[in-house]
Amino acid sequence: MSRPHLQSLLITFNWNRLILNILWAISFVVFASQWLIFKVITTKLPFLMSMNDLEQEMLIPNSISLIVMVGLELWHRTYPKWTEGAILTASITLSFVYLYFISDYFAAAPVILLFPIFISTIYFKKKDLLICLVICVGGLIGCYFMYEDHSPYTMINFIIITCTILIAALTGFAVIERGSELVTQLDSVQQSEQELRVQTILMERMAKIDPLTGLHNHKSFHEYIEKLLEDQRLHAFPIQLAILDIDNFKQVNDTYGHWAGDIALKQAAGCMADYIGKSSFAARYGGEEFVILLRENNIQAAWQIIEKLRIAIARSPIAEMNRRHISVSIGLHQIEAGETKEYAFQQADQALYVSKREGKNRTTIQ
């Protein structure tokens, strides 16, 4: 299961838990208000109804409410995936229970049917809101025909409450529609931000990577060696710098064409990627010249790696050059703590010059 899907399930679970807590709180408030109202009535107007009648009127609906809430709580713990539908069903059930038992005492009792409308709006689902609206209006019509009193006052009250429920539902639809628009806008913004981040990463890569060879470029090399030398001054660890130059590269271009020269450069870069370690750094410095920074324990260990690389390049035939080989001359220098970038590069460059002068296709340590 993907991480975003798990996060979505967790958010839904938390919302269901919150709504369940609200339902518990509402049940308590309804019970407390009933008890308070009936207590006032029986104290001030005892002739209207007996205490036994009031207790019975409170006992039945609140007992049903308690059973529904306990069942809903158990359902949520057992089948959390289906809690949303259970909550909507429970809200409708509780609304009709309270409507049935208190409608004889309070003319505004049908307003309690707004409760399922509000719950379905919270879930931002038009289908659920429409179902709740149909059930609530249908139940309201049924209650009206159950009354024996069909006086104008009752008709007016019925029309007002029906319109109130319809207005609440329309408001709910508007809230859901607006919420959907906001979600779409948020998704669009997030997508734009993601595309911008990707473009930024690509631009940073283009600024630091040589497009032909895939190695780091001249700028990236200078940034890296400056950071490496700064770390060396703080922690004192060995660094080796190697400069590689493809031998007779102009002759390769003149004989086989620049496209073959590009292939030779890419093949040499591929050998570097294969033979240097993960702690090493290789870059195309410019033209047919490359640089490598190593962090071996000593110059001899670095020389062995560079030599393996030189031999691998010399033994790799290039199909586009009639399977002929290229070779590289290399200058290698151990960078001591305190040396500047310019001095280290000068030493490695002098070693490279010696390799060129003494026959090419060799490594010289300076």
Residue 43: the pLDDT is: 62
Which is it for strands 363-365 and 328-335: parallel, antiparallel or unpaired?
parallel
pLDDT for 328: 95
pLDDT confidence band for 107 (50 / 70 / 90) = low
- Same domain assignment for residues 19 and 116: yes
Assess whether pLDDT exceeds 60 at residue 25: yes
Which range marks the domain in which residue 320 is found?
218-365
The per-residue pLDDT for range 31-57, each reduced to its tens digit, is 887 777 777 666 655 544 555 555 556
pLDDT digits (tens, 9 = 90+) for 166-195: 888 898 889 888 888 888 888 888 888 887
Fill in the DSSP letter of residue 318: B
277, 156: one domain? no
- CB-side neighbour CA atoms (13 Å) of 317: 4
Residue 1 has pLDDT above 60, yes or no: no
pLDDT at 269: 93
* pLDDT tens-digit readout, 112-162: 788 888 888 888 888 888 988 888 888 878 777 776 666 666 777 778 888
175 and 35 within one domain: yes
Whole-angstrom distance, CA of residue 141 vs CA of residue 162: 9
Both 132 and 15 in one domain: the answer is yes
pLDDT of residue 346 exceeding 90: yes
**Residue 105 — very low, low, confident or very high, per pLDDT cuts 50/70/90?**
low
The residue with tokens 């590289």 is: 328
Q: Give the total number of structural domains in the chain.
A: 2
Q: Same domain, yes or no, for 109 and 175? A: yes
Q: How far apart are CA 64 and CA 59, in angstroms?
A: 9
30 in the same domain as 127: yes
Distance, CA of 115 to CA of 121 (rounded, Å):
10
Catalytic residue among 55, 73, 288, 296: 288
Q: Are 283 and 216 in contact (CB under 8 A)?
A: yes
End residue of a domain, out of 189, 207, 240: 189
Comparing 303 with 10, the larger pLDDT belongs to 303
Here the CATH number for the domain that contains residue 301 is 3.30.70.270
> What average pLDDT does the chain have?
83
β-strand partners of 363: 330
Which class for 238: exposed (0-12), middle (13-18), buried (19 or more C-beta within 10 A)? middle
Q: What is the mean pLDDT of residues 96-108?
A: 68
How does pLDDT run across 230-278, given as a tens digit for each residue?
Answer: 999 888 899 999 999 999 999 999 899 999 999 999 999 999 988 887 8
Give this prediction's pTM: 0.53
Q: Is residue 234 part of a domain?
A: yes
Q: In sequence order, what are the beta bridge partners of 246?
A: 328
Q: How far apart are the first and last CA of the chain?
A: 57
366, 331 contact by CB (below 8 A):
yes
Q: Sorting pLDDT into bands at 50, 70 and 90, what band is 3? A: very low
User: For the chain, what percent of residues have pLDDT higher than 70?
Assistant: 85
The CA–CA distances, whole Å, from 305 to 225, 241, 295, 312, 359 equal 19, 12, 11, 11, 21
Report how far residue 71's alpha carbon sits from residue 74's, in angstroms, rounded to the nearest whole number: 5
Closest by CA to 103, choosing from 40, 61, 69, 134, is 61
Would you call 288 a catalytic residue per the annotation?
Answer: yes
Structure-token match 């006992």, residue found: 59
- The residue with greater pLDDT, 313 or 17, is 313
